[in-house]
Chains A and B, each alone.
Chain A
Amino acid sequence: MKRDAALGVLARHYPEGIVVPVYQAAFDWMAIRPHPLNYLCTGAMGQAVSHGLGLALGCPEEKIVVLDGDGSLLMNLGALVTVAHAAPANLVHFVCCNAIYEVNGRFPLPCAGDVDFAGMARAAGIPHVLAFDDVGDLEARLGEVFQLQGPVFVVLHVEQGAAHPHDYVAIHSDASRRTFRAALRARRTVATPA
């Protein structure tokens, strides 16, 4: 399944909400769904789901989608247990698995292709764990995924699709952070009028 095709499906099912994407998924996502509620500045590799957990706890009325990478998640596997313990009902954690450090020279992950992320998520106590390797199947079932009470963990087995530019400025910029903060405040103000 091409990653850009998978993310295109996700964008159609989730056109407006908060998304925390990392590295190559972020570069693709910015092109596929440019939006002020893209939380781009996760800073350190592996931290996406932890930022997402903070957002999920702070905005329980919002669905929070994390677009992680397999190499990134390997840096923060304990976060699966943290998420299971905190049990945010509004967190959906996608992991794009391609078994390589794609933006760092396409070097293979340790045990490339043999790591069972879905199994690790289940073992950590995540209540809903799914995996997709076919874009049609993803299209057919993504609505159902978003109806589940979280936390939800979704493995996307992907390969590179269209090559989107590596916009490192955007994923570290003050402008991105200010845009997200303003958009979130505006959305919450509308949702909860005085």
Chain B
Amino acid sequence: MMHEAAARPAARTDALEGSAIIREIKAAGVGTVVALPDIVTCETVLWPVARDTGLRLVQVCKEDEGVSICAGLSYCDQRSVLLIQHTGFLDSINAIRVIAVEYQLPIVMIVGLQGLEPGRAPTDSDRLGVRIVIPILEAMRLGFTILETGADAAGLAATIEASYASSRPHVFLVARSPA
């Protein structure tokens, strides 16, 4: 189980870019993005994905649908990511618990932490909905990575590869809106 960048590096200033996230997911062989708009990633990830002819976008009406769609795709040996907001993650806990964690499927989620205050760790947020995300992930023993900088994004492809290789879910927490 990977718990990367749980403590926030203070000195890294390279910007997290949406184009880097898209480049990394494509490098990992992801062909489908299943998404429901999230204000953290909509402008610089979701809109570009919608325009990218190299990726299939599947829009869902509720985030837990996406967990199951990604599961179905995985049985067809097709890689996908689920792009959602943390509120949708919280709303989908039961589906994630059983389909991703208990069934041990490579469900890869990119979750925007909407409302996380600049310079704060998610667990220190004043917002309850943000503050409880990492404790819930830890309770489910679900691996996660915090994406805050360009350097964080650079490891995305390798982590997705590892998720599929081990058939385990992984969550990327987007701590700030990518440039």
Interface residues in chain A, defined as those with a beta carbon under 8 Å from any beta carbon in chain B: 39, 41-44, 46-47, 50-59, 76, 78-79, 81-82, 85-86, 172, 174, 177, 180-181, 184-185, 188
Interface residues in chain B, defined as those with a beta carbon under 8 Å from any beta carbon in chain A: 32, 56, 58-62, 64-78, 80, 94-95, 98-99, 102-104
Q: Which residues of B contact A56 (CB under 8 A)?
A: 72
Of B56, B59, B80, B103, chain A has the most CB atoms within 10 Å of the CB of: B103
Q: B59–A47 contact, CB under 8 A? A: no
Q: Which residues of B contact A43 (CB under 8 A)?
A: 68, 71, 95, 98-99, 102-103
Q: Which residues of A contact B60 (CB under 8 A)?
A: 50, 78-79, 82
Q: Which residues of B contact A58 (CB under 8 A)?
A: 72-73, 75-78
Bound-complex Cα distance A174 to B104 (A): 9
Of A53, A58, A184, chain B has the most CB atoms within 10 Å of the CB of: A58
Q: A85–B59 contact, CB under 8 A? A: yes
CB distance from A75 to the nearest CB of B (A): 9
Q: A81–B61 contact, CB under 8 A? A: yes
User: Chain B interface mostly helix, strand, loop or mixed?
Assistant: helix
Bound-complex Cα distance A46 to B63 (A): 13
Q: B68–A50 contact, CB under 8 A? A: yes
Q: Which residues of B contact A85 (CB under 8 A)?
A: 59
Q: A47–B64 contact, CB under 8 A? A: yes
Q: A57–B75 contact, CB under 8 A? A: no
CB distance from A124 to the nearest CB of B (A): 10
Can you spell out 6 A-B residue pairs with CB atoms less than 8 angstroms apart? A47-B65, A50-B60, A53-B69, A55-B76, A57-B72, A185-B77
Q: Which residues of A contact B72 (CB under 8 A)?
A: 39, 50-58
Q: Which residues of B contact A53 (CB under 8 A)?
A: 58, 65, 68-69, 72
Q: A79–B95 contact, CB under 8 A? A: no
Q: B64–A44 contact, CB under 8 A? A: yes
Bound-complex Cα distance A53 to B69 (A): 6
Known interface pairs A50-B72, A51-B68, A58-B73. Does A86 touch B98 (Cβ–Cβ under 8 Å)? no
